[in-house]
Amino acid sequence: MARTAVPAPVDERRVLVVVGCQRSGTTMLQQSLLDRSWRVVILEEHDRRLVRTDDPDRILWKPLQEISHRMMQLPFELVVVKPLVESHRTIEILNSISKAKAIWMLRHYLAVAKSDVARFGPENGIRNLSRLVAGDISDWRANCSAEVREQVSVLIKADLSPLDAAAVFWWARNQLYFDQHLREDDRVRILRYESLIEAPSECLRGVSDFLGLSLPSRSMVNAIRQPMRSSGGLHPSVEDLCSGLLARFNGVPELAPS
């Protein structure tokens, strides 16, 4: 879509970094902004300005200094990026980009696990966990704490169902929020997928307040999609692991409906 707005002054430009676990509503959050405001531009996950040409999946970012420079050259008040595979580097990313803030998207582990299986197939969860345990940090999945790797190493030896494996991966990725002490960083807020679905106008006003940028929430709400309903359960040990982590998010700084 062509943009004809007057370029924003450099000192008024800012960046929103959307991070978290895959299948948590990050794309929906982006699309609620995409082409809804002339003040905003979205750089998609595979944008050639961001990702390394030597990465076959085209998702790993180029050096942050280069990316930061390119973002600040864009003539918009807000640049939105979604470096999900770089979520373990949230602080580093924020420190490298002027006037950057981050939203960590959070969605219930069972919904994420079901979405993952439906989108990527029944083998994806085990594949992700195997690469995490392998410990090759050139693979984004393996960038986690030693404690997380040890816990996953134990769990992967059990007979995990595809749903269980996907839920454990949700646990590993969202543990990154606490391992990086993001709750203590004023530049970071969580946004619950369920809140965005149930009260989109209020949540998007919260996004505007957080960014200090007035966004057209009335038109943006039209992009919010209702989730598919599903049933099913997890093994009790996986349920306990994931529910315990989800409970830790209670009380952390978040963009909640007013």
The pLDDT of residue 192 is above 90 = yes
Q: How far apart are CA 118 and CA 124, in angstroms?
A: 10
Band (pLDDT 50/70/90 cuts) for residue 214 is confident
For 61-87, write each residue's pLDDT tens digit. 999 999 998 898 899 989 999 999 999
For 109-130, write each residue's pLDDT tens digit. 999 999 999 999 999 999 999 9
User: What's the pLDDT at 8?
Assistant: 82
Q: Which two tokens stand for residue 109?
A: 């582990």
Q: How far apart are CA 243 and CA 55, in angstroms?
A: 34
Q: Provide, rounded to the nearest whole percent, the portion of the chain with pLDDT above 70.
A: 88
Return the closest-CA partner of residue 32 out of 240, 180, 222, 239: 222
For 93-105, write each residue's pLDDT tens digit. 999 998 899 999 9
Token pair 């996907």 is found at 166
For 8-67, write each residue's pLDDT tens digit. 888 888 999 999 999 999 888 887 665 556 778 889 889 999 999 999 999 999 999 999
The answer to whether 81 and 50 are in contact (CB under 8 A) is: yes
The answer to whether 241 and 170 are in contact (CB under 8 A) is: no
Q: Show me where the domains of the chain are located.
A: 13-248
- Rounded to two decimals, the pTM is 0.92
User: What's the pLDDT at 257?
Assistant: 65
Which H, E and C letters describe 198-209, residue by residue? HCHHHHHHHHHH
For 129-141, write each residue's pLDDT tens digit. 999 999 999 999 9
Say if domain 13-248 classifies as CATH 3.90.226.10: no
Higher pLDDT, 206 or 224: 206
Q: Which two tokens stand for residue 3?
A: 């943009």
Q: Name the burial class of residue 129, with classes exposed (0-12), middle (13-18) and buried (19+) by CB atoms within 10 angstroms of its CB.
A: buried
Q: Give me the amino acid identity at 210.
A: F
